[in-house]
Amino acid sequence: MCYNLEIESMNIQPTITAGGMKRAALNEQNYQLKTKHKMENKTLSEPRSRALNKAIVSSVFKPQDFKLCYVDDGFAYFTTKPLTEQWGDDWNDVPYEHNAGTPYTDEGMEIVKLAYSADLETPREGHYNSPFSVEIINSGAVAWLRSSSWSKVKVAIQAGATLEEFIDKVELVGGEVYLPSSWFVA
């Protein structure tokens, strides 16, 4: 899969999605570049997750430094801290879905929050009160996201997945990840 990003003078123009979130203008064909001096289209055939190589996610960290540490209601949180050191409110309490809060931030580290939409299940699926805490999930006992049992494409997204791995797997099942337009503005 490849995507369109309109670039004018090396700035990607943000659009507003139906849900009101800002994101770079994307479609499934290719990047279409518009230069200021010539109005010519150039096609780049690269997957959207590769666009992270051009993204300015952080002034300090590279995109591959961020690891999945928490998922809640269509949002995935990524940290630059080792998973064993990352913490949030009640991350050791079971069930995580009724107790856990978003990740804490500390000096010298960053958290990235991405919205996604996909037919993927969280560890709470099939449970009134799941037997998992965030601490248990981040230890690798169960994936943060997994394909439904009836899905033809089987995917599991474990704690510690990079931004690129997360995007690739969500898109593999036909989902979308919404990247902030600010990552692509020079």
Residue ranges of domains in the chain? 7-51, 63-182
pLDDT of residue 186: 61
CB within 8 A of 101, min separation 6: which ones?
Answer: 88, 89, 90, 91
How large is the greatest C-alpha to C-alpha distance in the chain, in angstroms?
59
Q: Parallel, antiparallel, or unpaired: how do β-strands 7-8 and 11-12 relate?
A: antiparallel
59-64 contacts at long range (C-beta below 8 A, 24 or more positions apart): 60/110, 61/110, 63/162, 63/163, 63/164, 64/162, 64/163, 64/164
**Digits of tens for pLDDT over the chain (186 positions)?**
333 333 333 333 333 333 333 333 333 222 232 222 222 333 334 466 767 777 788 888 888 899 999 999 999 999 999 999 999 999 999 999 999 999 999 999 999 999 999 999 999 999 999 999 999 999 999 999 999 888 899 999 999 999 999 999 999 999 999 988 888 876
